[in-house]
Structure 1
């Protein structure tokens, strides 16, 4: 079966292990695939916000409630990174609750990666904050954005 539609974004990183740790902590992502590219000799890692293997607890319910398709970030280790996702361009990740997001933001504040205080912009933007990843790319944490619901209602 071939993938159709949006499947991934490739992100250059200077230290793939450090980036895995960041996205594991703040975006709840896990390594799905890793390899050393045969042609270039560089590390390539695919990370996903939920493993797509079966069974995991509540697989079908999770699929119905908030998952429509697999999507990965492809981390590609490189010697030189010029952040492409900054200052406003960003990856966005929805949190399960406002409290969960606040806890992640507090940790980000302690680690010096929180770019500003959480903001509540109301509907449709919701509650959000920007973080800086190890290479300067921007990650948005949010709660209350209704992207999935909007897509479902539209199509």
Structure 2
């Protein structure tokens, strides 16, 4: 089977291992592929939550030129408001909570922003009806 449609987002990071820990903790993602490019020596890691054929590709770099920051962000749907609250509580303790949880109603839902180790923004949400909206638009 050949992948079609949106398959990944490539994200430059300065410490691949630190980013793996962050996305594992806050986005439920695991390493599905890892390699070092033989010509450039660049470290590439693919992360997935295994819910669909989509990955975040972490690319090790010495210096970031740009970062994803509000409003540019990666979004992860959580199974409950309680999970959003729990992860935000942990993020607050770690000093990486950017925007505390708020409920913006349908279709945006309950959401919050966190800062990853390089300053990129991750949105945690519950109740963003992207799947339902997609079904209804078909």
Mapped to 1, the partners of 2:80 and 2:27 lie a distance apart of: 13
Once the two structures are TM-superposed, the CA of residue 83 in structure 1 deviates from its matched residue by 3.7
Aligned to 1:108: 91
1:82 aligns with 2:88: no
The 5-angstrom pairing of residues 25-40 of structure 1 reads 25-40=25-40
1:126 aligns with 2:113: no
Mapped to 1, the partners of 2:102 and 2:132 lie a distance apart of: 21
Deviations along 1:97-125, whole A, 9 cap, x unmatched? 00111000000000001002111000111
CA contact (8 A) 1:83 1:137 kept: no
Once the two structures are TM-superposed, the CA of residue 133 in structure 1 deviates from its matched residue by 0.4
1:148 aligns with 2:128: no
> Runs of 5+ in structure 1 lacking a partner?
51-66
CA contact (8 A) 2:29 2:48 kept: yes
Once the two structures are TM-superposed, the CA of residue 40 in structure 1 deviates from its matched residue by 1.1
User: Aligned to 1:152, what secondary structure does the other structure show?
Assistant: helix
> Runs of 5+ in structure 2 lacking a partner?
none
Mapped to 1, the partners of 2:13 and 2:71 lie a distance apart of: 18
